[in-house]
Chain A
Amino acid sequence: MRGRGRILAGALACAAATVAIAVTTASGQEGAKPLTLTVGLQQDLDSANPTVGVTVAAYEFWNLQYATLTDKSSKDFSPIPGLASSWTSSPDKRTWTYKLRPGLKWSDGQPLTSEDVAYTINRARREQWLNYSQTVANITATTPDPQTVVLKSSVSDPKLPVMDVYILPKHVWSKYDKNAIGKFDGVTSVGSGPYTLDRVQKGQFWTLKANPSYWGGKPRIDRVVFRKFNNGDAMVSALRKGQLDAVENVPATAYLQLQKEKGITTLQGQQGGFDEFAMNGGDGLKKPNPALLDRRVRVAIAHAIDKKTIVNRVLRGLGTPADTISPSANPSWMPKLAPNQRFDFNLNEAKQILDQAGYKDTNGDGIREMPGGGKPLRLRYAVRQESADSQPTAEFITGWLKDIGIATTEKTYSDSQLTEVIGKGDYDLFVWGWTPFVDPDPMMSYFTCDQVSQDPKNPTNYYNDANWCDKTYSAMYKQQNTELDPAKRKQIVQQMLTRFYESATYVPLYYQGDLQAYRTDKYTGWIRQPAETGPVLFNNSSQTYANLKPVAATSSSSGGGGGGSGTIIAIVIVAVAVLGGLGLVLARRRSADERE
């Protein structure tokens, strides 16, 4: 019996040793690899189908797989040739003729003609495809010849000639009719962009390979891999180890640490995203606390918010205090406010304004009442459950409001609940944010009178979450919507933004960029869009990928973390095996005892 126990222990130890060797050698393996760009992000590709998906990850994928008629300049988003090499317009600027480049092909070798363009645009308009309808709702496409597409708009559209909807291959997508297209997962490698889809592993990664048929020439980087991470810290650690070349949405703490590291460039990619402190404008289905209907109260509140402190403490400095809302990824649409136009942080001024307007604390409880000693100024503050910054921001804002004599009652909502609450007008204050498109029209439209909730049965069908209706603003909106002169249009937009700012219904808190980081030792040629301030990846045109080239001819050294820890595991396994073997031996001995 003792002998058998010993043999068993010995066998276990040998097995463990074999495992150890296997582990240590396996972790050190590497083969020859094509040039690969590996990008880490925490969001999954929700759908490869451009008529279904909505995530940023999906947009990046479509930017790479599907070329568009016009591209957007990385400097200022102005239209530059894409699939179309040139375009002309009719005198009334409603009809645009685009000439396609000669010899365009899909990645499967099929020719890319005006047929595909017209098919995509007309079908998108008819079936009201998500991600398309905003652009092509009023546009009909015709094809006089395979190299020419004529787009006719039924209204004056200042966005034209920009045509950045993803052109889909008719020979692939015509297989899916109106009812089937919504269920198609979009996993196809037939595309016209610099890269096409190679493999998708839901929740883990998706890989793209370079497209030799791309009109701009086959990119130098052979493969692009997007890796989904569940954990921001693991993602950053992979960047540090060289297993990732770039990372999207770096967690704030990690970003601050990465800033100090050599060999890694960090950037805050501004795309016009902002957060705002919103007050109920009172024009919706329900009226807020009567104090908010008085512009002076709103102005006083605006003076009580220290945007700099919020940026420093809540965002750890990773943001810029905001003036007006940002209607576009292109910052040039925003007006410059004069110093006396701005509502600067000044608690004394806020208190003065309230005193002079008659909102005094008559009963000494620290809370002001309506003029004449009526209802106390106790406002409902809706906190967003989903946002990590929401709670600390609320702490600060409610603290300052308390200082100037306004009490608040906080309530936490999920986003879907809050949307309903805002639609019904059943709130006083909240903090939320927006990310604009490139053209300012959509963002500007949200604050028109039309977009204020009017139907109590469907209160969430409207976008005006300021519940603010200003006839002048709405009239100006209609003007800029059809104003074809760019300078004039910009002027109108800037006037609208100033007007909205002055109503003090929205107090924009800060502009927040996309925190990104990339290694400088492997590839060079990272393009920011817009120039100097924008992100290098996950922006509106994704031009970086085709532009990258290796820094030096050496391949990267990855798998550095594998060896050492593999050895530790091996040691642990051996130790456990030996202990197990010993245990067996001892157990046998004891039972031998018992039997006596």
Chain B
Amino acid sequence: MSTVALTSARRIAWRRRRRSAAAAWRQYRSNRAGMVGLVVLVLFGLLALAAPLLADHAGLAAVNSTQNPVWASPSEFHPLGTDHLGRSVWTQFVWGSRISLLIGLTATVLAMVIGTLVGIVSGFFGGRIGGVLMRITEWFLVIPFLPLAIVLAAVLGPSVQSIILVIGITSWPATARVIRAQVLTVKERLYVDRSRALGASSGHLMGRHIMPNIAPLILANTTLTVPIAILSETTLSFLGLGDPTRPSWGKMLEEAFAAGALSEHAWWYYVPPGLGVMLVVLAFVLCGNALEEILDPRLREQRA
């Protein structure tokens, strides 16, 4: 009797989840801004994935561009023109999208993992552990991002890994704070106390009750952290702290500025990368907002 009941219960739970997911998707679809954002993201994702098809990787090397004219404006040979070393800007843009997106996403994942862990633990346990973790979080929040990034890049040496580390380390506190606040709210709910009264362990509580309730919040927060990560990478690369051997949109802006693209009127070198960043960031923000709007009424319902 009990085995049959348990299986049904699980299946019922999954069915419920699927239905709510479908409902969420429907709601998302109706949000026009969110859909625009999603479409843009998919486009850029495809651009990054299809890089080898769209531009020859060898075109990134200056030694392979010695036959090209320098500072050439867009033409049929070079859709976005060439830079000060004769390299095709389109090639850099396409391959650079990979690095920019990769760093943005990976750094966000890092920040989310750390932030969520710290947020859940500090929110759930409270007391001394929670207090210490909160102190650490606040301390990290207070260190200005750029100087810390500069120092870390100087210590670790500029590379893709160090940039991911830098952004991850400076972005997790904001997430931790938000997650902690939500955990505190959820903790106060009756069924958590009831479970505890029934003798449930902390792990069980965190995994079974808290996590599912904050999972949507984590998702929304992630979508809103990615833009910060991408903007940070762009700024860091612009300041020369990025990986010098890989193209990225921020590096394109740095090279354009250093090589005097402004006085050369070479708009094709500095407009596309910035535009790319802006569109991707905007897309993530729109998606994130749409997600939050879906979550909002639900959260509000539960608060009552």
Contacts and interface: CB of A to CB of B under 8 A. Distances in A.
B33 interface: no
B245 A410 contact: yes
Interface stretch (B56-64, B213-221, B229-237, B277-285): B56-64
Contact of A385 (B61, B66, B85, B240): B240
**Which residue among A233, A251, A385, A391 has the maximum number of chain B CB atoms within 10 Å of its CB?**
A391
Contacts of A412: 157-158, 244
A392 B65 CA distance: 12
B63 A399 contact: yes
A396 B62 contact: yes
Given A391-B244, A412-B157, A313 B263 contact: no
Contacts of A313: 62, 66, 70, 84-86
A305 to B, nearest CB: 11
Interface in B223-249: 240, 244-245
A233 B260 CA distance: 10
A396 B63 contact: yes
The B interface is mostly helix, strand or loop, or mixed, namely loop
A395 interface: yes
B142 interface: no
Interface string A65-101: 0000000000000000000000000000000000000
Interface residues of A, number: 25
Contacts of A314: 85
B301 interface: no
Nearest to A232: B260
B240 A392 contact: no
**Which residue among B61, B70, B154, B240 has the maximum number of chain A CB atoms within 10 Å of its CB?**
B61
B63 A254 contact: no
A400 interface: yes
Nearest to B70: A313
B46 interface: no
B258 interface: yes
Contacts of A392: 62, 84-85
B264 interface: yes
A252 B70 CA distance: 14
A400 B63 contact: yes
A557 interface: no
A411 interface: yes
A254 B66 contact: no
Contacts of B62: 313, 392, 395-396, 399
Contacts, number: 45
B91 to A, nearest CB: 14
B237 to A, nearest CB: 13
A254 B263 contact: yes
Contacts of A414: 154
Given A313-B70, A391-B244, A392-B85, A253 B260 contact: yes
A403 interface: yes
A399 B86 contact: no
A391 B245 CA distance: 9
A394 B62 CA distance: 10
Given A251-B260, A253-B260, A412-B158, A399 B70 contact: no
Interface in B248-264: 258-260, 263-264
B235 to A, nearest CB: 17
B264 A253 contact: yes
A309 B244 CA distance: 21
Contacts of B61: 395, 399
A338 interface: no
Interface in B30-67: 61-64, 66
B152 to A, nearest CB: 14
A309 B259 CA distance: 17
A392 B66 CA distance: 12
A1 interface: no
A251 B257 CA distance: 13
Interface in A350-404: 383, 385, 388, 391-392, 394-396, 399-400, 403
Contacts of A391: 244
Interface in A388-437: 388, 391-392, 394-396, 399-400, 403, 410-412, 414
Contacts of B66: 309, 313
B196 to A, nearest CB: 54
Interface string A245-257: 0000001111001
A385 B157 CA distance: 11
A394 B84 CA distance: 15
B260 A388 contact: no
A251 B62 CA distance: 22
B44 to A, nearest CB: 26
B244 A410 contact: yes
Given A395-B61, A399-B63, A411 B264 contact: no
B85 A253 contact: no
Contact of A399 (B64, B158, B259, B260): B64
Interface in A282-312: 309
Contacts of A385: 240
Contact of B63 (A252, A316, A403): A403
**Which residue among B64, B84, B244 has the maximum number of chain A CB atoms within 10 Å of its CB?**
B244
Nearest to B63: A399
Nearest to A414: B154
Nearest to A394: B244
Nearest to B153: A412
Given A309-B66, A313-B62, A412-B157, A395 B258 contact: no
Contacts of B157: 411-412
A388 B63 contact: no
Contacts of B158: 412
7 contacts: A253-B260, A253-B263, A313-B85, A395-B85, A399-B61, A399-B64, A412-B244
Interface of A: 233, 251-254, 257, 309, 313-314, 316, 383, 385, 388, 391-392, 394-396, 399-400, 403, 410-412, 414
Given A253-B264, A391-B244, 19 more contacts: A233-B263, A252-B260, A253-B259, A254-B263, A313-B84, A313-B85, A313-B86, A314-B85, A316-B84, A392-B84, A392-B85, A395-B63, A396-B63, A399-B61, A403-B63, A410-B244, A410-B245, A412-B158, A412-B244
Interface of B: 61-64, 66, 70, 84-86, 154, 157-158, 240, 244-245, 258-260, 263-264
The 10 closest A-B pairs by CB, nearest first: A399-B63, A253-B260, A395-B62, A399-B61, A396-B62, A313-B85, A396-B63, A309-B66, A412-B158, A391-B244
